[in-house]
């Protein structure tokens, strides 16, 4: 009886019309089948034991996974829009080209050369937050605000009373940042020789959007910020020069950008903002 059963098993695997699923303890199967190491059965395609799952061989996705499940991707922040402005007045308005969106974050990089800004407001932000500044030479400040109500209203910077020196700003809108408090470290410094160097910050979040801004006199030429690959925001070249850049970092730790400049009367600031997971 045992010999008859073995004979049947061999016949099933080596029948003239081979079928998938037949046992192949010897490791051999009739063409066009192959012996799958994961199942020890004859199959059209071998399944490696290290990658086997409980789905049928011809299934396009594992049966224990949703067919419409999204592919995992690293979190990121997206630039929605930006605008720049400058004037020799005590205050400055910056008008973005489109209505801001609730939940997005506005970032202002700029300053008043006469002294520290007294306030930043508008753009649909309930309350703007001062992050960091250096106000020794040409000056630079970084502020942010979370949009509570979408608005076409401008962002307004107010400098020292009766100031008639340059006031300037780049305002950008970003989606994908943690709210209400995305700030993850900031630092600023000033100097009289190249390169412009705000100092290093230590980020704590795994994915950050980092901004680097430098205010300088004219004539002046900025080089490329380093280390890493930085993308330029719209610069300002008027009776001052301002460079502003951003990059995404994907590991918590030290961030220390510098950039060459040719004038030598700079203020520089760096600030990191946490990206939502």
Are residue 115 and residue 251 in the same domain, yes or no?
yes
Res 66: pLDDT: 45
Query: Is 64 part of a structural domain of the chain?
Result: no
Res 129: pLDDT: 98
Res 61: pLDDT: 42
Contacts of 75 (CB under 8 A, 6+ apart): 176, 207, 275, 276, 277
Res 179: pLDDT: 97
The overall average pLDDT reported for the chain is 86
Query: Is 135 part of a structural domain of the chain?
Result: yes
Are residue 98 and residue 173 in the same domain, yes or no?
yes
Query: Is 53 part of a structural domain of the chain?
Result: no
Using one digit for the tens of pLDDT, what is the confidence trace for 113-163? 999 999 999 999 999 999 999 999 999 999 999 999 999 999 999 999 877
- For residue 50, pLDDT over 50 is answered with no
Helices (H), the chain: 2-13
Res 185: pLDDT: 98
- For residue 225, pLDDT over 80 is answered with yes
- For residue 36, pLDDT over 90 is answered with no
List the single range of 8-22, 151-165, 261-275 with lowest mean pLDDT. 8-22
Mean pLDDT of 176-190: 98
Q: What is the number of domains present in the chain?
A: 2
Query: Is 199 part of a structural domain of the chain?
Result: yes
- For residue 38, pLDDT over 80 is answered with no
> Which domain covers residue 116, as residue numbers?
80-274
Res 49: pLDDT: 42
For residue 113, count other CB atoms closer than 10 A to its CB.
Answer: 22
Is residue 244 within 8 Å of residue 208, measured between CB atoms?
no
Greater confidence (41 vs 232) lies with 232
Residue 62 is encoded by which pair of tokens? 């594992």
Mean pLDDT of 1-29: 54
Are residue 92 and residue 170 in the same domain, yes or no?
yes
Are residue 259 and residue 142 in the same domain, yes or no?
yes
For residue 50, count other CB atoms closer than 10 A to its CB.
Answer: 7
Is residue 15 within 8 Å of residue 42, measured between CB atoms?
no
Are residue 152 and residue 86 in the same domain, yes or no?
yes
Mean pLDDT of 160-179: 93
pLDDT-derived band at 17 (thresholds 50, 70, 90) equals low
Mean pLDDT of 95-103: 98
Q: How far apart are CA 18 and CA 84, in angstroms?
A: 73
Are residue 117 and residue 176 in the same domain, yes or no?
yes
Cis peptide upstream of residue 227 (ω within 30 degrees of 0): yes
Res 45: pLDDT: 67
- For residue 1, pLDDT over 60 is answered with no
Number of residues that make up the chain: 277
- For residue 51, pLDDT over 50 is answered with no
Cα 9 to Cα 27, 34, 74, 138: the distances in Å are 14, 16, 51, 88
- For residue 276, pLDDT over 80 is answered with yes
- For residue 59, pLDDT over 50 is answered with no
Are residue 98 and residue 216 in the same domain, yes or no?
yes
């Amino acid at each position: 009886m045992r010999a008859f059963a073995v004979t049947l098993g061999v016949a099933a695997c080596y029948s003239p019309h081979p079928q998938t699923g037949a046992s192949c303890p010897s490791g051999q199967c009739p063409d066009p089948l192959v012996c799958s190491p994961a199942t020890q059965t004859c199959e059209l395609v071998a399944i490696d034991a290290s990658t086997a799952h409980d789905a049928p061989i011809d299934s396009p996705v594992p049966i224990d996974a949703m067919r419409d499940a999204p592919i995992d991707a690293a979190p990121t922040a997206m630039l929605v829009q930006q605008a720049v402005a400058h004037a020799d007045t005590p205050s400055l308005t910056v008008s973005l080209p489109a209505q801001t969106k609730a939940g997005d974050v506005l970032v202002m990089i700029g300053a008043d050369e006469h002294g520290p800004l007294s306030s930043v407001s508008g753009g649909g932000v309930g309350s703007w937050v001062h992050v960091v500044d250096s106000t020794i030479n040409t000056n630079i400040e970084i502020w942010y605000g979370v949009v509570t109500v979408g608005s076409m209203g401008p962002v307004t910077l107010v400098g020292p009373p009766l100031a008639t020196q340059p006031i300037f700003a780049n305002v950008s809108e970003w989606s994908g940042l943690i709210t209400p408090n995305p700030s993850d470290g900031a630092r600023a410094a000033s100097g009289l020789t190249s390169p412009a160097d705000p100092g290093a910050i230590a980020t704590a979040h795994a994915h950050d959007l980092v901004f680097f801004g430098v205010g300088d006199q004219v004539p002046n030429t900025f080089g490329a910020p380093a280390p890493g690959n930085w993308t330029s925001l719209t610069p300002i070249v008027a009776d001052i020069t301002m460079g502003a850049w951003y990059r995404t970092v994907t590991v918590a730790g030290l961030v220390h950008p510098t950039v060459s400049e040719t004038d030598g009367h700079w203020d520089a600031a760096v600030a990191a903002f946490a990206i939502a997971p």
